[in-house]
Amino acid sequence: YEYTLEGSVSDAKVLTLKANVPVPMGGIDIDFIQAETPIAYYVAAIYKYNTNLAISVMGSSYGSTEDCKAVVKRASETTVDITLNGFGNLTGGGNMNLGDFTISGVNVEKADGGYTLSLGAFESDAESASGTTPITGESLEGTVTADGKAEITVAFKPGSMPMAITAVFTGNVNETSAQ
């Protein structure tokens, strides 16, 4: 395939290359980075296999769903942005009309057997068919194992809700790690 290649060499003689291949399937961007792989690359993925999203309020279950996913995108060398999806698919609890929302600037650190995710207070907006709901986040904690299994726990308040909702997401990055 034809492609474009851009690159530079820093004062420290570090080579950076970016290749853009416009086909197949809408194009592919490939980044070549000379150095250690930034830690955020190890957890950036779509966790969509063997998933579960469970919600509780003050310790009482508010429903769960297996029709969910977490999209983790690299934001910097040591941070990621996490979009949680599936709140509109909850069953076995109350009726939650909450859309997807993204938690930005989540810290990634190396840990035994994988990586930890952490963030204190945050703000976001949940987008749904009924409009936008502001999200006030209290915390995010999680782990991603070396074989691609994620567990993410988020405490947040949608709109003017006085008590926090706890959402626990679990899922795998690929089918083989789902076993």
Q: Within this chain, do residues 26 and 57 fall inside the same structural domain, yes or no?
A: no
DSSP string, 111-150: ETTEEEEEE-SEEEEEEETTEEEEEEEEEEEEEEETTSEE
Q: Within this chain, do residues 60 and 135 fall inside the same structural domain, yes or no?
A: yes
Task: Give the total number of structural domains in the chain.
Answer: 2
Q: Within this chain, do residues 48 and 29 fall inside the same structural domain, yes or no?
A: no
User: Stretch 31-58: mean pLDDT, rounded?
Assistant: 89
Please tell me whether residue 3 adopts helix, strand or coil conformation.
coil
* pLDDT at position 178: 46
pTM for the full predicted model: 0.80
* pLDDT at position 11: 83
Q: Within this chain, do residues 101 and 166 fall inside the same structural domain, yes or no?
A: yes
Please report, for the domain that includes residue 139, its CATH number. Answer: 2.40.128.350
Q: Within this chain, do residues 66 and 143 fall inside the same structural domain, yes or no?
A: yes
Please tell me whether residue 176 adopts helix, strand or coil conformation.
helix
Q: Within this chain, do residues 63 and 105 fall inside the same structural domain, yes or no?
A: yes
Q: Which two tokens stand for residue 12?
A: 């420290």
CA–CA separation, 88 and 148 (whole Å):
25
Q: Within this chain, do residues 62 and 97 fall inside the same structural domain, yes or no?
A: yes
Q: Within this chain, do residues 97 and 152 fall inside the same structural domain, yes or no?
A: yes
Q: Within this chain, do residues 87 and 151 fall inside the same structural domain, yes or no?
A: yes
Between the CA of residue 153 and those of 16, 18, 66, 82, 103, what are the distances in Å?
Answer: 35, 35, 16, 12, 12
CA–CA separation, 84 and 151 (whole Å):
12
Q: Within this chain, do residues 13 and 51 fall inside the same structural domain, yes or no?
A: no
- 78-134 residue pLDDT tens: 999 999 999 988 887 666 678 899 999 999 999 999 999 999 999 999 987 778 999
- Domain residues for 23? 4-33
* pLDDT at position 94: 63
Q: Which helix (H) or strand (E) holds 158?
A: strand 149-158
Q: Within this chain, do residues 133 and 93 fall inside the same structural domain, yes or no?
A: yes
Q: Within this chain, do residues 115 and 134 fall inside the same structural domain, yes or no?
A: yes
Residues 6+ apart with CB under 8 A from 177: 49, 145, 147, 148, 149
* pLDDT at position 176: 62
